[in-house]
Amino acid sequence: MKVKFEIDASPEEWRKFFGMPDVSELHEQLIEKAKSKIESGEYDPVKLLQEFMPDDIKKVTDLQKQFWENLFNKS
């Protein structure tokens, strides 16, 4: 016997159902702060993203950088 349920609910409804806190206001504040810093040139978006990348991806990025530097420096 199979039983299948289909529930149509928004993320906000799920958070309320499971008793999770509403962090939408905090999220908006963080996004606005990040936007203002990026627009003012305080920090580089690439460096911001690299903080969240696993170490393996950083190693691949470094390898690609070395490859392109060596390719253009030897010609």
**Into how many domains does the chain fold?**
2
In a domain, 4, yes or no: no
Tell me, yes or no, whether 2 lies in a domain.
no
pLDDT above 60 (res 75):
no
pLDDT digits (tens, 9 = 90+) for 21-64: 888 888 888 888 888 877 887 777 677 776 766 667 667 778 88
Same domain, 15 and 25: yes
Residues 37 and 27 in one domain: yes
- Residue 45: which residues within 8 A CB-CB, separation 6 or more? 38
